[in-house]
Amino acid sequence: MPEPHAPAVILLSGGLDSATVLALANMQGFACHALTVDYGQRHRAELDAAVDVARALGARAHRIIAVDLTGFGGSALTDRAIAVPEAPTQGIPLTYVPARNTIMLSLALAWAEVLDAGDLFIGVNALDYSGYPDCRPEYIAGYERMANLATRAAVEGRSMKIHAPLQHLTKAQIVARGSELGVDFALTVSCYQADASGAACGRCDACRLRSKGFAETGIADPTRYQPRP
């Protein structure tokens, strides 16, 4: 357990996974500083969802920081000319955003340094996930090693821990854990092509994984879907 009210930075996308992570960090007694990155993602509704989730779970502070990755493109999430796949694909899918988790963890690391926090939380998952390279446990371990060379704290002998508490859970286990912790999943948005109100498409990889998670637990799925044409 941390010192009571030790500050921690929690990456909060507005989706189901990171909301559960915020609830877990809260439960562990951290003073949770939620960080949302507006990287130009297609599904803008997740940014509004992040605001609602941070408020509902009582985050100590919440920042949204903008870094426009649409200029680099290379992903269905940041380049409107690339369609979001609606059927399972082989290999790393088109929704992979180059270096996204590395950029988000680096922004979290900056805030952690300013807060003198030694704990970062990220909701990556390596079971029911889309096969992104920057969700793999070996990547998270490598990031932690790098972070422990990067900062003032590192030079002064204090360490930085990257917590990825969902890493080895199935989506159903995440839904169950979040539910126990009182996460209101109706506030969260997972869909890669959610409309402005947060209603989900029901067809993308993120929708499929989320829906399967609820189905397997038997917990009622509060996801709002777009009307079918």
Closest by alpha carbon to 93, among 84, 102, 80, 81?
84
One residue of 2, 73, 118, 202 binding its own copies per CB under 8 A: 73
CB of 115 to its own copies, least distance (A): 9
* Cβ count near 73 (within 10 Å): 15
Distance CA 192, CA 207 (A): 8
Q: Is 129 in the site for its own copies (CB under 8 A)?
A: no
Distance CA 171, CA 106 (A): 26
Q: Is 99 in the site for its own copies (CB under 8 A)?
A: yes
One residue of 29, 44, 56, 74 binding its own copies per CB under 8 A: 74
Q: Find the length of the chain.
A: 229
Q: Which of 29/74 has CB closer to its own copies?
A: 74
In this structure, are strands 31-38 and 119-121 parallel, antiparallel, or unpaired?
A: unpaired
Q: Is 147 in the site for its own copies (CB under 8 A)?
A: yes
Q: Is 80 in the site for its own copies (CB under 8 A)?
A: no
CB 34 within 8 A of CB 10: yes
Q: Is 126 in the site for its own copies (CB under 8 A)?
A: no
* Footprint of its own copies on 40-69 (CB under 8 A): 63, 65-69
Q: Which two tokens stand for residue 143?
A: 């990031």
Binding positions for its own copies, rule: CB under 8 A: 63, 65-69, 71-74, 92, 96-103, 105-107, 109-111, 113-114, 133-134, 136, 138-139, 142-143, 145-152, 154-155
